[in-house]
C-alpha cells in the first residue's frame, strides 16, 4: 500500500505518528493509499523549519522571488498532464476538469510574478520641513493554509502563491482526501529554486489543524472548507491573535428571467449544476425561474440535457461529463438529502438514485437529480448538498427571486440570465452575494480581481488572491524620517544590477 507522508525542509518525509487516513480511488471505491496524519511533534518541526527559513527568504529581493514563480509556472505547464492525472485519481473529477483546477491555480501564480510591483509602498516627499514619510509592506512571517478536498491544486496555490511571493514562509495542511497533488506542487516549487523550509506540507486532520491554530510560530491562517469548520477556525485563530481569513460553503442561485435565452440558460445550468458532480463552491445548486411559464420552459430544456449526461471514471477522458463523489460518506449524504427532498414535498423530475455503472459498482457515483417546486423551508434548499442535485424554486416576481438569493445564509456566488440591462444592473447592485454573474453561470473572478463570498460563506475581511491576498499576507509599516540637509562627497558611476 502506497504511503503518503509530508514535505518538510525541501524533502518528502514519512509520517511518524502511526496514524493514517485511507485515500480512495472514488471511481472504484478501493483504498489506493494511506496518508499520514501528523502529530504535534511533526507539526512543530515543520513550523520551526519555516520560521528558520523565513527571514532569509524575506530578505531575498522581490524580483528574485518572482523569478522562482516564473520557473514554477513553466514546471506546472511541463507537468500539467501528470498533475491532472494524479488529481483525478484521488478526487474523481474528469481529466479536463483536473487540468482546469491546476490552470486556475497557475493563473494566480502568474499574478504573483508581479509581486515587486504589488509590494511597493507609499511615499510622501516633504511631509514637513525636511521630513519624508513612507510606508512599506512587510511579510507577516509564517502563514498557514488549511484547504478542502475539492480543489487540491488551485486552492493551495491561491494561498501559498501570494504568501511566498511576498516573503512569507508557508505551512500547508491539505485535505486528507486527496493529498498527492499538494506534495507534487511543493516538489515543483523546490525544483523552481525555492529554498528548503519556505513551503512545508503537513498532512493531517483536526489534530494538525488545532496545532496550527494554537502555534505561536504561525502569524496568519487561511482556511477554505465547510462553513461550520470555517467559523471555528476564524474564532480560534483570531482568539490566538492571528490574522485570519476563512472561507465556507455556498448555495448559489441562478435567476432565469422570462426574457432570457432559455437554451443558453439551460446549457449554463447543466455545466454549473452538474460539473465536477456538483462538488464546487461555485456550483449552481438552485435555479430560480421567474414566472410559471419561464419555469415550464426551463424544465423542458433541462430534462433532455440531464438525461444525456455521461457519468463515469476519469479514465474515459473526454467521454465523461462528471465523475464520482469523493467518498462513500459524501455519496450517502447526498442520497439522504434527496430523500428529505421527496419526503418534504419537492417534485423529483429526474431521479438519479438508481444509477449503476457496469464494472464500477463500488464507485461513489451518483446520477443526476433535478427537483422542481422546491420551497424555502426544505432541507434541500437550506443545506449545501455538494452533489449532482439541482433544485428549482419557482419565483413569481423578480423581487422574490432577488430576495431568495439575498436572504439565504450563504452568499458566495449568484447568476442572473436576462436580456434586459436594467434588470441585470439592478440585480448586481442590490443582491447580497459576493460574486455575481450576468449571463455567466460560474462567476469565478480572474486572478487579478479577488475571490470571496459574503455572509456565512466567508469570515474575515479580505478576499483570496488578487490585491486582497497581498494585503492579507503583509503588514504595513510607516516611517517618518527627518534628515539634515547636505550633499555627500563622492559619486558612483557604474551601472549595477540590484541582484
State the number of CA atoms in the 13 A half-sphere of 355 facing the CB. 22
Contact call for residues 453 and 410 (beta carbons, < 8 A): yes
Radius of gyration of the chain (CA): 24
Nearer to ligand NAD, 456 or 471 (CB): 456
Run of H or E including 189: helix 180-192
Of 4, 184, 218, 281, the catalytic one is 281
Residue from 9, 176, 178, 301 in contact with ligand NAD (CB under 6 A): 176
Q: CB nearest ligand NAD: which residue?
A: 225
Residue from 145, 352, 453, 466 in contact with ligand NAD (CB under 6 A): 453
Contact call for residues 152 and 87 (beta carbons, < 8 A): yes
Please tell me whether residue 147 binds ligand NAD under the rule CB under 6 A.
yes
Residue from 21, 139, 229, 286 in contact with ligand NAD (CB under 6 A): 229
Please tell me whether residue 457 binds ligand NAD under the rule CB under 6 A.
yes
Q: How far is CA 12 from CA 6, 182, 202, 302, 441, in A?
A: 6, 12, 10, 48, 40
Shortest separation between residue 36's beta carbon and ligand NAD, angstroms: 13
Shortest separation between residue 412's beta carbon and ligand NAD, angstroms: 6
Q: Which letter does DSSP use for residue 446 in this model?
A: P
Please tell me whether residue 183 binds ligand NAD under the rule CB under 6 A.
no
Contact call for residues 407 and 303 (beta carbons, < 8 A): no
Q: How many CB atoms lie under 10 A from the CB of residue 499?
A: 8
Residues 196-215 that bind ligand NAD (CB under 6 A): 205-206, 209
Residues 279-318 that bind ligand NAD (CB under 6 A): 281
Helix axis angle for 227-239 and 206-214, nearest 10°, is 30
Nearer to ligand NAD, 226 or 315 (CB): 226
| φ, ψ dihedrals at 201, nearest 5° | -120, 120
d(CA 149, CA 312): 19
Nearer to ligand NAD, 327 or 406 (CB): 327
Residues 6+ apart with CB under 8 A from 293: 258
Contact call for residues 38 and 47 (beta carbons, < 8 A): no
Q: How far is CA 226 from CA 35, 146, 271, in A?
A: 21, 11, 22
Per-residue binder mask for ligand NAD (CB under 6 A), 367-386, x = binder: -----------------x-x
Shortest separation between residue 462's beta carbon and ligand NAD, angstroms: 13
Shortest separation between residue 37's beta carbon and ligand NAD, angstroms: 9
Annotated catalytic residue 112: no
Please tell me whether residue 246 binds ligand NAD under the rule CB under 6 A.
no
Please tell me whether residue 226 binds ligand NAD under the rule CB under 6 A.
yes
Shortest separation between residue 386's beta carbon and ligand NAD, angstroms: 6
Contact call for residues 431 and 124 (beta carbons, < 8 A): no
Please tell me whether residue 15 binds ligand NAD under the rule CB under 6 A.
no
Please tell me whether residue 153 binds ligand NAD under the rule CB under 6 A.
no
d(CA 316, CA 95): 9
Select from 21-29, 141-149, 254-262, 479-487 the region that touches ligand NAD (CB under 6 A).
141-149
Shortest separation between residue 459's beta carbon and ligand NAD, angstroms: 10
- Terminal Cα distance for the chain, rounded: 47
Using CB under 6 A as the criterion, which residues of the chain lie in contact with ligand NAD when the complex forms? Answer: 146-151, 173, 175-176, 205-206, 209, 224-226, 229, 247-250, 281, 384, 386, 412, 453, 457
Residues forming the active site: 281
Amino acid at each position: 500500500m502506497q504511503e503518503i507522508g509530508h514535505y518538510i525542509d525541501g524533502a518528502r518525509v514519512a509520517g511518524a505518528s502511526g496514524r493514517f487516513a485511507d485515500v480512495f480511488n472514488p471511481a472504484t471505491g478501493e483504498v489506493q493509499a494511506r496518508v499520514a496524519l501528523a502529530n504535534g511533534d511533526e507539526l512543530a518541526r515543520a513550523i520551526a523549519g519555516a520560521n528558520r527559513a523565513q527571514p532569509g527568504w524575506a530578505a531575498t529581493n522581490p524580483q528574485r522571488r518572482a523569478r522562482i514563480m516564473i520557473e514554477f509556472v513553466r514546471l506546472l505547464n511541463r507537468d500539467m498532464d501528470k498533475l491532472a492525472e494524479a488529481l483525478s485519481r484521488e478526487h474523481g473529477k474528469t481529466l479536463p476538469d483536473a487540468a482546469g483546477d491546476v490552470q486556475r491555480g497557475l493563473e494566480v501564480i502568474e499574478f504573483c510574478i508581479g509581486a515587486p510591483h504589488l509590494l511597493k509602498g507609499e511615499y510622501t516627499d516633504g511631509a514637513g520641513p525636511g521630513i519624508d514619510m513612507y510606508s512599506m509592506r512587510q511579510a507577516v512571517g509564517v502563514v498557514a493554509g488549511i484547504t478542502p478536498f475539492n480543489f487540491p491544486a488551485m486552492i493551495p496555490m491561491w494561498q501559498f502563491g501570494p504568501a511566498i511571493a511576498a516573503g512569507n514562509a508557508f505551512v500547508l495542511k491539505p485535505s486528507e482526501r486527496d493529498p498527492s497533488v499538494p506534495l507534487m506542487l511543493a516538489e515543483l516549487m523546490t525544483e523552481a529554486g525555492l529554498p528548503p523550509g519556505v513551503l512545508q506540507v503537513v498532512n493531517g486532520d483536526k489534530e494538525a489543524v488545532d496545532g496550527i491554530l494554537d502555534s505561536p510560530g504561525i502569524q496568519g491562517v487561511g482556511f477554505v472548507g465547510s462553513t461550520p469548520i470555517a467559523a471555528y477556525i476564524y474564532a480560534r485563530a483570531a482568539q490566538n491573535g492571528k490574522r485570519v481569513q476563512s472561507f465556507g460553503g455556498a448555495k448559489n442561485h441562478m435567476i432565469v428571467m422570462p426574457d432570457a435565452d432559455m437554451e443558453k440558460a439551460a446549457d449554463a445550468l447543466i455545466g454549473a449544476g452538474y460539473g465536477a458532480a456538483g462538488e464546487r463552491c461555485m456550483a449552481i445548486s438552485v435555479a430560480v425561474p421567474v414566472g410559471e411559464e419561464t419555469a415550464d420552459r426551463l424544465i423542458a430544456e433541462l430534462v433532455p440535457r440531464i438525461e444525456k449526461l455521461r457519468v463515469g471514471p476519469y479514465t474515459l477522458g473526454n467521454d465523461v461529463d462528471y465523475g464520482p463523489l469523493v467518498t462513500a460518506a459524501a455519496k450517502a449524504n447526498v442520497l439522504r438529502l434527496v430523500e428529505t427532498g421527496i419526503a418534504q414535498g419537492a417534485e423529483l423530475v429526474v431521479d438519479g438514485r438508481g444509477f449503476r455503472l457496469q464494472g464500477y459498482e463500488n464507485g461513489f457515483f451518483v446520477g443526476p437529480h433535478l427537483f422542481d417546486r422546491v420551497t424555502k423551508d426544505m432541507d434541500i434548499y437550506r443545506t449545501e448538498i455538494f452533489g449532482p442535485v439541482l433544485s428549482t424554486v419557482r419565483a413569481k416576481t423578480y423581487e422574490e427571486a432577488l430576495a431568495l438569493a439575498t436572504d439565504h445564509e450563504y452568499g458566495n456566488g449568484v447568476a442572473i440570465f436576462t436580456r434586459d440591462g436594467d434588470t441585470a444592473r439592478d440585480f448586481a447592485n442590490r443582491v447580497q452575494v459576493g460574486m455575481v454573474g450576468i449571463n455567466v453561470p460560474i462567476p469565478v473572478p480572474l486572478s487579478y480581481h479577488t475571490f470571496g463570498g459574503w455572509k456565512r460563506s466567508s469570515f474575515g475581511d479580505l478576499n483570496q488572491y488578487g490585491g486582497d491576498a497581498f494585503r492579507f499576507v503583509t503588514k504595513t509599516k510607516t516611517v517618518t524620517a527627518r534628515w539634515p540637509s547636505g550633499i555627500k562627497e563622492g559619486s558612483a558611476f557604474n551601472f549595477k544590477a540590484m541582484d
